[in-house]
């Protein structure tokens, strides 16, 4: 089945009596991405290494069952509010809303309201797959009926462009991201020897359960300037929010990840003010992944561009409460190349 010249769609199984489809978008170099409409998930990103070998550089599963059982948000779209909300509660105009406590006493990635395991509708355009979803007022405790669109484009420049659009009919907190786990050597090794640069010299200070204290502090020993992961994480893991140094949105990359053996490099561009770096230390899968292995700690890292976590509970953080009819519009681009 080939509804467009470079987008192939085929059945990938059934969930909740709805058919799940896999979409493959191939560019002029023969590199491709695969997406599924369950969770608006990025299933694979297949790009060449320095000698031309095409391999998948994100974690994923060969079957739908793997994604349904997954607890690590592998490849998923995350929202309506990504990351944590302290005490699973927030207030809008003196009214307090209570959410699922799915991460200790806190809410993470929206709990039962999370879009990561919802079945999206879709349309295929000439160069894009557009996933859409409607979620109801009160789901998981969140106010407002919400319409969400996630658009994926894969370019001849090996750029995966993701656009998030959302609009609610009541004031509600919104924060969408993509939760792909990257491994540029296609899981032949852990991520410890990947080199990372983040254009952010400040981080959010956070508690042991990853809740921001409200303080913005220097990254200091957690600064990444072409550092190998192992030299900064020191055998533990990192789950930190970095604030980009730029004052306004611009066209420059904000993160750069590279791996010497494969020669692959990935640059991240985004409209968001910062990124959550998660080094995958809690990865623990009981389904065989795309790379013929059970994924475990440090098999991949996430660069989740998003608004600040727990924003609704910190007045001095960038506002994430979107008013009725106000359009949420943000982008993330993952661009792949080989080291010159």
B/e letters for 74-85, b = 16+ CB within 10 Å, e = fewer, are bbbbbbbbbbbb
Weakly modelled stretches of the chain, pLDDT under 50: 1-4
Residue 5's pLDDT is: 59
Residue 285's pLDDT is: 95
The predicted-structure confidence for 168-223, as pLDDT tens digits, reads as follows: 999 999 999 999 999 999 999 999 999 999 999 999 999 999 999 999 999 999 99
> For residue 329, what are its two tokens?
């519009």
Residue 129: HSE in the Cβ half-sphere, 13 Å Cα cutoff: 28
Among 34, 55, 290, 304, the active-site one is 304
Residue 156's pLDDT is: 96
Among 15, 86, 109, 179, the active-site one is 179
Residue 236's pLDDT is: 86
Q: Is-catalytic flag, 316?
A: no
CA distance 270 to 286: 33
Q: Is-catalytic flag, 29?
A: no
CB contact at 8 A, 262 and 50: yes
> For residue 139, what are its two tokens?
């789901």
Q: Alpha-carbon torsion 266, 150, 186, 28, what sign?
A: negative
Residue 2's pLDDT is: 41
CA distance 328 to 193: 37
Say what the pTM is.
0.97
């Amino acid at each position: 089945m080939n509804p467009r010249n470079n987008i192939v769609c085929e059945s990938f199984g059934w969930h909740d009596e709805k058919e799940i489809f896999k979409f493959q978008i191939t560019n002029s170099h023969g590199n491709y991405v695969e997406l599924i409409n369950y969770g608006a998930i990025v299933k694979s990103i297949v790009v060449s290494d320095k000698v031309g070998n095409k391999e998948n550089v994100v974690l994923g599963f060969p079957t739908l069952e793997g994604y349904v059982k997954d607890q690590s948000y592998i490849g998923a779209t995350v929202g309506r509010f990504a990351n944590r909300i302290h005490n699973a509660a927030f207030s809008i105009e003196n009214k307090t809303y209570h959410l699922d406590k799915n991460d200790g006493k806190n809410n993470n990635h929206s709990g039962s309201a999370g879009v990561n395991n919802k079945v999206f509708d879709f349309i295929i355009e000439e160069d894009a797959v557009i996933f859409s979803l409607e979620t109801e007022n009160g789901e998981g405790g969140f106010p407002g009926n919400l319409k969400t669109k996630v658009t994926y484009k894969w370019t001849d420049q090996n750029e995966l462009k993701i656009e998030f659009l959302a609009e609610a009919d009541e004031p509600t907190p919104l924060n969408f991201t993509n939760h792909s786990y990257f491994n540029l050597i296609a899981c032949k090794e852990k991520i410890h020897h990947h080199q990372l640069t983040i254009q952010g010299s400040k981080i959010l200070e956070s508690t042991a359960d990853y809740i921001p204290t409200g303080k913005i502090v220097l990254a200091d020993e957690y600064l990444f300037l072409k550092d190998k992961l192992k030299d900064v994480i020191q055998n533990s893991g990192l789950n930190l929010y970095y604030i980009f140094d730029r004052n306004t949105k611009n066209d420059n990359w904000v993160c750069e990840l590279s791996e010497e053996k494969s020669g692959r490099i990935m640059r991240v561009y985004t409209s968001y003010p910062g990124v959550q770096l998660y080094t995958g230390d809690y990865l623990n899968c009981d389904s065989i992944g795309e790379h013929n292995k059970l994924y475990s700690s440090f098999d991949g890292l996430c660069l989740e561009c998003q608004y600040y976590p727990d924003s609704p509970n910190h007045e001095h953080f960038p506002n994430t409460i979107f008013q009725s009819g106000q359009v949420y519009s943000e982008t993330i681009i993952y661009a792949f190349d080989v080291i010159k």
